[in-house]
């Protein structure tokens, strides 16, 4: 992705280096505990309670200056966020609406949010209560090294997906779906969650298409990086990698194939209307 030297967003709240507690994965059963946390990364659920009683080592406190790599990651995220702002502002204008950008919070290890405590185990998420995206930038290393989704556009896809949830919020989709989920069974709620997440994947594909058309920012192989990332974080793949048999009723984000297909549909069409996962009979 061509991002160096380009405009960054002013809607970044950088809390890194301000101190905070963290969970150290170590001691007996470390690999199993890591698998649990990795599942939490992508399910958007804090799974650290499952670690209670295990030998996870002491909590650590960090505070200090950002490294050059930290600053580079922050600059990268800022440029990606700026691209989403320009793309979605233009798309909303075409819909006869105005777009209010989200704020993206960069943090390290742990930080408060209006939706509860954000930690490394929750992974990137969007909080509709304060309309902010939360991202522990160490997540990108996990994405690349632990899950095999390398490349800067794999990371850009993650940011665009979370911004996609903000777009859903701006369009009034999230509030309507969450109201229905609150009155649904667990299985029904999970099924609706899958449709929400696949639509955010589709929106990230729409963004990628428009980013290429507006800025020419995509390099050869970027879409393949995003598709690979989508494959690596499907519910079925994550459950298998955690040593579990995939259980569709427990899926909250969709299978690897579904996540790839909806991102590809968004990129192919470049059209928000093509992302109506709620009317689709076949996901």
Tell me the pLDDT tens digit for each residue of 220-273: 999 999 999 999 999 999 999 889 999 999 999 999 999 999 999 999 999 999
pLDDT of residue 12: 96
Q: How confident is the model at residue 64 (pLDDT cuts 50, 70, 90)?
A: low
**CA-to-CA separations, 273 to 95, 118, 166, 170, 255, in angstroms, rounded:** 10, 32, 16, 15, 22
pTM assigned to the model: 0.85
Short-list 244, 232, 239, CA closest to 201: 232
Asked whether residue 249 is assigned to any structural domain, the reply reads yes
Number of domains in the chain: 1
Domain for residue 219, yes or no? yes
* Residues pairing with 156 in the sheet: none
Distances, alpha carbon 102 to alpha carbons 11, 83, 134, 146, 160, in Å: 7, 12, 10, 29, 11
Q: Could you write out the DSSP letters of every residue in 106-150?
A: EESSEEEETTEEEETTT-SEEETTTTEEEEETTHHHIIIIIT---
Domain hosting 81: range is: 12-275
Question: Which of the residue ranges 11-25, 55-69, 175-189 would you say has the lowest mean pLDDT?
Answer: 55-69
Q: What is the mean pLDDT of residues 198-225?
A: 96
- Among the residue ranges 87-101, 116-130, 167-181, the one predicted with the least confidence is 116-130
Query: Which one, of 158, 141, 144, 185, lies nearest residue 44 by Cα?
Result: 158
Does 191 reside within a domain? yes
Is residue 262 situated within a structural domain? yes
What gap in Å lies between CA 138 and CA 70, rounded to an integer?
Answer: 9
More reliable by pLDDT, 98 or 60: 98
Give the residue-averaged pLDDT of 4-11. Answer: 92
Distance CA 133, CA 130 (A): 9
**Average pLDDT of span 185-196:** 95
**Has residue 100 got a pLDDT over 90?**
yes
pLDDT at 18: 72
Is the pLDDT reported for residue 36 higher than 80? no
Q: What is the pLDDT of residue 144?
A: 86
What average pLDDT does this structure show over 112-132?
91
**164 pLDDT exceeds 90?**
yes
Q: What does the pLDDT look like over 252-265, one tens digit per residue?
A: 999 999 999 999 99
Instruction: Answer yes or no: is pLDDT of 48 > 60.
Output: no
Q: Which residues contact 97 (CB under 8 A, 6 or more apart)?
A: 170, 171
Residue 1 lies in a domain: no
Other C-beta atoms closer than 10 Å to the C-beta of 21 total: 13
């Amino acid at each position: 992705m061509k991002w160096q030297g380009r405009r960054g967003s002013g809607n970044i709240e950088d809390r890194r280096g301000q101190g905070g507690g963290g969970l150290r994965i170590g001691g007996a059963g470390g690999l199993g505990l890591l698998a649990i946390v990795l599942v939490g990364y992508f399910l958007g659920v804090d799974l650290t309670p499952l670690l209670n009683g295990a030998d996870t080592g002491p909590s650590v406190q960090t505070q200090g200056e950002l490294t050059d790599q930290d600053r580079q990651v922050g600059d990268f995220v800022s440029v990606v966020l700026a691209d989403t702002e320009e793309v979605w502002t233009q798309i909303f204008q075409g819909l006869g609406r105005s777009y209010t950008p989200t704020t993206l919070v960069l943090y390290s290890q742990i930080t408060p949010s209006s939706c509860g405590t954000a930690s490394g185990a929750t992974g990137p998420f969007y909080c509709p209560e304060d309309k902010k995206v939360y991202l522990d930038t160490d997540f990108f290393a996990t994405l690349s090294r632990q899950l095999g989704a390398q490349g800067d556009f794999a990371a850009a896809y993650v940011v665009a997906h979370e911004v996609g949830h903000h777009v859903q919020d701006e369009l009034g989709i999230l509030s309507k779906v969450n109201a229905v989920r609150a009155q649904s069974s667990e299985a029904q709620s999970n099924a609706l969650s899958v449709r929400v997440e696949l639509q955010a994947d589709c929106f990230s594909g729409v963004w990628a298409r428009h980013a290429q058309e507006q800025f020419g920012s995509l390099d050869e192989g970027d879409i393949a990086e995003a598709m690979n990332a989508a494959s690596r974080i499907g519910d079925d793949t994550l459950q298998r990698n955690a040593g579990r048999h995939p259980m569709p009723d427990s899926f909250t984000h969709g299978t690897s194939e579904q996540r790839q297909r909806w991102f590809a549909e968004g990129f192919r069409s470049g059209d928000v209307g093509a992302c109506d996962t709620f009317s689709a009979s076949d996901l």
